[in-house]
Copies of this chain bind each other. A is one copy, B any other.
Amino acid sequence: MKKVKEKLDFMYIRIAKVIEQQILNGALRTGDKLPSLRTICREYGVSQNTALSAYYNLESKMLIETKPQSGYYVRYSKTKVPALPQITKPEAEAHYADSELLVRKIYDGLGEDGHLALALGIPANELLPIAKLNKGLTVAMRELKGSGVMYDKIEGNERLRRQIARWSFAMEGHLNHDEIITTGGCLNALSYCMMALTKRGDTVAMESPISFGMLQLAQVLGVKVLELPSDPQHGIDLNALEDALKANKINVCLFISNFSNPLGSCMPDENKKQTVRLLEKYNIPLIENDLNGDIYFGQQRPKSCKTYDESGLVLWCSSVSKTLAPGYRVGWVAPGKFKNEVRRMKLYHSISSTSVTHEVIAWFLETGRYESHLRKLRHTLHGNMLKFSRAISDYFPEGTMATRPRGGFVIWVELPKAIDAVTLYEKCLRYKISFAPGRIFTLQNQYDNCLRLNYGLLWDEKLERDLKLLGELACREL
């Protein structure tokens, strides 16, 4: 996989990456003049066009800027990036979710147009390959037996499961297709796993802050949530996890291993390995939510906890809802030794997935279209993340902190303590701007000054204006 990727990466992207790296690590600083196009051509042995493309790429990420009749200069400033938030400090007691009013107020308009963009947790329409997916639908109609009007096998579309298995090798997952069960999206996979593994009154450990969808699922299943301290870069605090396991406080873990929602943290591979070993020691299953793993900004897809799973305790869940087609409802789970239990949940609660859309995704993966789409998507999202980071630094109140996600499409912002994000949220609504207040990502009294922004959008002037206005409204709260 890696070799293929290198071959496919265009020269201009490789040049841009080198310079980007120098800017990000501070070797090049704001205002520094960059080599002329001619120098780039000579040094890398490329055409003028390629050199131009490299600079254009960096410009689109707002890392550099052109000054007419002078040349190219570094625009991005490391010192202008908001500081990173501290590791979170939730209480060590598990809680039942009992209120949902705030979440519902914000998300009742899901599917509506308008001002919700920054509050949502899915990429915008414009970033999805709609025409290619339609082509896939046409192919599926023609090739799938009965054009997909009949039920799938219970385990799901075999072609899709083979593709997911093949794909898993990229992260050394070594899965076989018959270890995989397809589902109607990642949430649907997580719901089957939770129903298979928990009973009322159990405790599920999650990172804190937590995707509110997980809190809602816990609520409806009557399980308690133990929030674990989490680092904005490296995710779950392993010491806290071990303490809770020792104290016999956890029945099941549910972690977003890569580019968590809302923090954007990514567990280093070594931490993943340690986590799995720890859970093996205490014989506690891990439901791994890896729905963002394919949206990495680095060189390689981060591994999953499943990669290190030797005892079948990890249930690896993912989907294409965050990268390709949320409305297709295509997800999957590799449930390890809990395969029978999860399969039964699928059979008893819904019989079959939607045959035709699952076939489309199989085709998309098989023909290499997924890989090529992801390259574009990652590039766009990485650029957006840098732009958001810069905008937060430019417009938000002094002392604002923000995460620096290396993947996914959400950024977590900590405003000065004096600002209440829910109050700010209500004021912003009047200006048709929205975001997800931090308070909805926890069951405890915390994150009142935090918010989550979705940068999975098409960057344009209106978006920049909205972020500016949001920042100004926040400043007024002080």
Contacts and interface: CB of A to CB of B under 8 A. Distances in A.
Q: How many copies does the complex hold?
A: 2
Please list the 5 inter-chain residue pairs (A to B) with the smallest Cβ-Cβ separation, ordered nearest first.
A327-B355, A111-B153, A149-B325, A354-B354, A191-B349
A111 B356 contact: no
A350 B219 CA distance: 15
A188 interface: yes
Contacts of A110: 151, 153-154
12 contacts: A108-B154, A110-B151, A110-B153, A111-B153, A112-B153, A122-B151, A150-B327, A185-B352, A187-B350, A187-B351, A327-B352, A327-B356
Contacts of A111: 150-154, 352
A206 to B, nearest CB: 15
Contacts of A271: none
Interface residues of A, number: 54
A148 interface: yes
Question: Which of the listed residues A141, A149, A154, A344 has the most CB atoms from chain B within 10 Å of its own CB?
Answer: A149
Interface of A: 108, 110-112, 122, 125, 128, 130, 133-134, 137-138, 141, 146-154, 184-185, 187-188, 191, 195, 199-200, 213, 216-217, 219-220, 324-329, 344-345, 347-357
Question: Which of the listed residues A153, A217, A327, A352 has the most CB atoms from chain B within 10 Å of its own CB?
Answer: A327
Contact of A353 (B148, B329, B351): B329
A141 B134 contact: yes
A184 B151 CA distance: 12
Contacts of A134: 141, 147
Nearest to A340: B104
Nearest to A145: B125
B220 A149 contact: no
Contact of A326 (B153, B219, B345, B352): B352
A352 B121 CA distance: 14
